[in-house]
């Protein structure tokens, strides 16, 4: 089932998400719906707050970014109760966008290597290292479960330049191909 994506301005996007237990109601169904919603919206990652739930769950599929000519290996994974253990390396710029903030794409600086602990959909615990674009997508989704949006990481001057656009998104004055839920004004 494709779920509506909560837009910028919704308070759930600003909450610190809670860990969940293995008996969380219909978790397999929710994970399936999140993947379906992400693919329908042409995303490479989706976090639970973006579908209105403040729980520590996100899904990622960077296999979609694989191109034969590029030396890049993606993955498709579910991250439950993730904890970012550390980030390292020289910060690099990469253009990010967000399904909750349509039509805004900005280069954001983040460290290239991460170490993360999480449970997969079978509740197996993993501690893994990711780098480059794979790390980047995880960092973006991890921010969501901490109530942080990528625009928070913009330099203040640049951020001011998109303020009007953000206000429009808040009001629902934006064209998207996927269903969205805007703040009622
Ligand atoms: Zn996002």
* Residue 13: band (very low, low, confident or very high) from pLDDT cuts 50, 70, 90: very high
The alpha carbon of 141 and the centre of ligand 1 are apart by a number of angstroms equal to 6
The residues that are catalytic are 141
Q: How far is the CA of 135 from the centre of ligand 1 (A)?
A: 14
Predicted confidence band at 12 (pLDDT cuts at 50, 70, 90)? very high
139 CA distance to ligand 1 centroid (A)?
10
Beta bridge partners of 128: 116
Domain-by-domain residue ranges, the chain? 5-181
Q: Compute, in angstroms, the gap from residue 171 CA to the centroid of ligand 1.
A: 18
pLDDT of residue 71: 85
User: 5-181 has which fold?
Assistant: Peptide Deformylase (3.90.45)
- pLDDT, tens digit, for every residue of 133-151? 999 999 999 999 999 999 9
Sorted by sequence, the CB contacts under 8 Å of residue 61 that are 6+ apart come out as 35, 38, 39, 44, 45, 74, 75, 76, 77
Say if residue 68's pLDDT is above 80. no
What rounded mean pLDDT belongs to the chain?
A: 96
Distance 85 CA to ligand 1 centre (A): 20
Straight-line distance from the first to the last Cα atom of the chain, in angstroms, rounded to the nearest whole number: 27
pTM above 0.85, yes or no: yes
The pLDDT tens digits for 101-132 are 999 999 999 999 999 999 999 999 999 999 99
pLDDT in the model for residue 65:
92
Compute, in angstroms, the gap from residue 50 CA to the centroid of ligand 1: 8
């Amino acid at each position: 089932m494709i779920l509506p994506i909560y837009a910028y301005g919704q308070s759930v996007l600003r909450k610190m998400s809670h860990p969940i237990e293995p008996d969380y109601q219909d978790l397999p169904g929710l994970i399936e719906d999140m993947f379906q919603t992400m693919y329908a919206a042409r995303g490479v990652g989706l976090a639970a707050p973006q579908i209105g739930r403040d729980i520590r769950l996100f899904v990622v599929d960077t296999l979609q970014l694989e191109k034969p000519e590029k030396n890049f290996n993606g993955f498709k994974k579910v991250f439950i109760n993730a904890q970012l253990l550390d980030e390292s390396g020289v910060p690099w710029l990469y253009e990010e966008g967000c399904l909750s903030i349509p039509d805004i794409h900005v280069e954001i600086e983040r460290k290239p290597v991460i170490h993360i602990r999480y449970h997969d959909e079978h509740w197996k615990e993993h501690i893994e290292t990711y780098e480059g674009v794979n790390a980047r997508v995880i960092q973006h989704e991890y921010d969501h479960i901490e109530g942080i949006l990528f625009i928070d990481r913009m330099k203040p001057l640049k951020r001011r330049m998109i303020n009007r656009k953000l206000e429009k998104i808040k009001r629902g004055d934006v064209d998207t191909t996927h269903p969205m839920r805007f703040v009622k004004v």
